[in-house]
Amino acid sequence: MSKTNQANAVMLTASLGFLSTILYLLLFLFKEPILQLIAQGGWYFLIPITIAFILSYVHGAFVNHFWDVLDVKPNPMGE
């Protein structure tokens, strides 16, 4: 991997890590209003599901890029 690609990969990883951290921080800061919305019933049950999908996607992308930057790959099965 060239130095430019490596630098871009590191910046992308750092950005995703920062975004993941901010999303978790926002979840903890706004847990009471979120719980109040959910308690109203109806379609508000979709709020925690949506939050979970967003957090999972961003954090998963961060972890994927993190391991790619470190050049850690799984061994193929059977070898």
Distance from the first to the final alpha carbon of the chain: 25
What pLDDT is stored for residue 75 in this prediction?
84
Number of structural domains, the chain? 1
Structural domain contains residue 79: no
Structural domain contains residue 74: no
Rounded CA separation 8/16 (Å) = 12
pLDDT band at 1 (very low <50, low <70, confident <90, very high): low
Q: Which residue range is the domain that position 62 belongs to?
A: 3-69
The amino acid sitting at 74 is: P
DSSP calls for 35-51: HHHHHT-GGGGHHHHHH
Structural domain contains residue 48: yes
Structural domain contains residue 45: yes
pLDDT band at 77 (very low <50, low <70, confident <90, very high): confident
Rounded CA separation 60/54 (Å) = 10
Structural domain contains residue 34: yes
